[in-house]
Amino acid sequence: MADRHETEIEARAIEAAAAEAASRAAERAVEDAQRPPVAPMEDVVDRSDVERGERIERKRSEEPGFIRFFAELNLGLILTAVSIVVFKTPNHFAFGGTSGLSVILSTLVPQLPVGAFMWILNIVLVILGFIFLERKAILWSVYASFALSAYVSLFELLFPGGHSFTGDMWLDLCFAVILPALGSAIVFDIGASTGGTDILAMILKRRTTLEIGRALLIVDIGIVTVAAFLYGPRVGLYCVLGLFAKTLVVDKAIESIHLRKVCTVICKEPLKVEKFIVKNLNRSATISRGYGAFSGECVTVIMSVLSRREAVQLRRYAREVDPGAFITIVDSSEIVGKGFRGVM
């Protein structure tokens, strides 16, 4: 009987403690709901800091000017031309597109170099573009087509002979994929293209119901198949690898250019961290309220999208003001909004 009585007393004590804890948690939740997570930064930082941040934000959001646009477009075309002359042509790498078809035609008609066939093919595509498309829509594609042909012809003069620099077909394949992928990523980042089959893609989109990606892939596979018959199964398999690797590397290169870090910070000094983001990094943040699953305590959650360098600075500062800070940093390659230039 005594044991049962003691058990009942302990059970009542536990229930009373739980009820008291729940009551305190409810009171704390009401207080937290009535209190903003942090003070607005416009009331904390100086007006000069706000104006400087707005100027930097506008600069980040701006599209590249004409000089930068023209320079980056030509840089991408030069990288592509180097890969065609130095790495693709000596090994007969025909991955598709006008360059791949030009490599095959140059083999069938050895009197003409790859650059000459690129001129011929691009002129034909440009004429078709002027027939089926609006001139304004293909202006930069026309320039890119002719500029790429000119760069290829120039590098053929600078690097005559058509022999591999390395003598290693696998190494040449790597650079034959990486260089044009990087060039395409630079060009796509500014909203332009490398011309060539891009004009054909615009025509198909405007004039037919065909899926552009599938149609161009079929053309590329056809070019690779012809290359396999002309140059043998070894080169053909290298071309197959190059065709699929090119798509993957281009996507990764574009993602790398636009890569940003989405940072989430939970710490004991949220006001200091928010002020650091606004004043030192010239960024903004989204503040929300959260609750610990175990403790039930209210915490301030700070989320901000930063560059890689800024994310490192934020992580270092947050750990300085609170060694126990909880920080998550994840990658994002598509950020559209104020302070960021969207993907074209």
**What is the domain extent for residue 301?**
259-332
Residue 164 belongs to some domain of the structure: yes
Which of the listed residues 257, 280, 302 is the one where a domain comes to its end?
257
Q: Each residue's pLDDT tens digit in the chain (344 positions)?
A: 555 555 666 656 566 665 665 566 555 555 555 555 555 655 556 666 656 666 666 665 566 678 888 898 899 999 999 999 999 988 888 887 888 889 999 888 888 888 899 999 989 888 888 887 776 667 888 888 889 999 999 998 888 767 777 888 899 999 999 998 888 888 877 777 777 777 777 777 677 776 666 777 778 888 888 998 999 889 889 998 988 888 788 777 777 777 889 999 998 888 889 889 888 888 888 888 888 877 778 888 999 998 888 999 999 999 999 998 899 999 887 766 665 555 44
163 & 304 share domain = no
State how far the Cα of 53 lies from the Cα of 282, in Å rounded to an integer.
5
Secondary structure (3-state) at 332: strand
Q: pLDDT at position 317, please?
A: 93
155 & 230 share domain = yes
Q: pLDDT at position 36, please?
A: 54
Cα torsion angle, 178, 148, 124, 344, sign = positive
Residue 39 belongs to some domain of the structure: no
Secondary structure (3-state) at 282: coil
State how far the Cα of 323 lies from the Cα of 318, in Å rounded to an integer.
8
Residue 32 belongs to some domain of the structure: no
Residue among 237, 338, 325 nearest 283 (CA) = 338
Query: CB of 334 within 8 A of CB of 189?
Result: no
State how far the Cα of 307 lies from the Cα of 234, in Å rounded to an integer.
43
Residue 342 belongs to some domain of the structure: no
130 & 277 share domain = no
Residue among 260, 275, 251 nearest 312 (CA) = 260
Provide the token pair at 172.
């040449």
Give the side-chain half-sphere CA count within 13 A for 113.
18
Provide the token pair at 121.
């093919």
Q: pLDDT at position 321, please?
A: 92
Which of the listed residues 257, 287, 307 is the one where a domain comes to its end?
257
Contacts of 32 (CB under 8 A, 6+ apart): 289, 298
182 & 153 share domain = yes
174 & 303 share domain = no
Continuous H helices in the chain:
2-34, 47-61, 66-82, 89-91, 97-108, 114-132, 139-158, 169-189, 197-207, 212-231, 233-258, 270-275, 308-321
270 & 210 share domain = no
Query: CB of 305 within 8 A of CB of 261?
Result: yes
253 & 265 share domain = no
State how far the Cα of 127 lies from the Cα of 19, in Å rounded to an integer.
82
State how far the Cα of 132 lies from the Cα of 89, in Å rounded to an integer.
32
4 & 153 share domain = no
188 & 271 share domain = no
235 & 275 share domain = no
CB atoms within 10 A of CB 70: 15
Residue 41 belongs to some domain of the structure: no
308 & 223 share domain = no
Query: CB of 151 within 8 A of CB of 81?
Result: yes
Which of the listed residues 257, 276, 308 is the one where a domain comes to its end?
257
State how far the Cα of 84 lies from the Cα of 103, in Å rounded to an integer.
9
140 & 180 share domain = yes
Residue 207 belongs to some domain of the structure: yes
State how far the Cα of 146 lies from the Cα of 142, in Å rounded to an integer.
6
Residue 127 belongs to some domain of the structure: yes
Contacts of 290 (CB under 8 A, 6+ apart): 266, 298, 299, 300, 301
Q: pLDDT at position 343, please?
A: 43
Residue 231 belongs to some domain of the structure: yes
Q: Which CATH number is 296's domain given?
A: 3.30.70.120
Specify the number of domains making up the chain: 3
CB atoms within 10 A of CB 156: 19
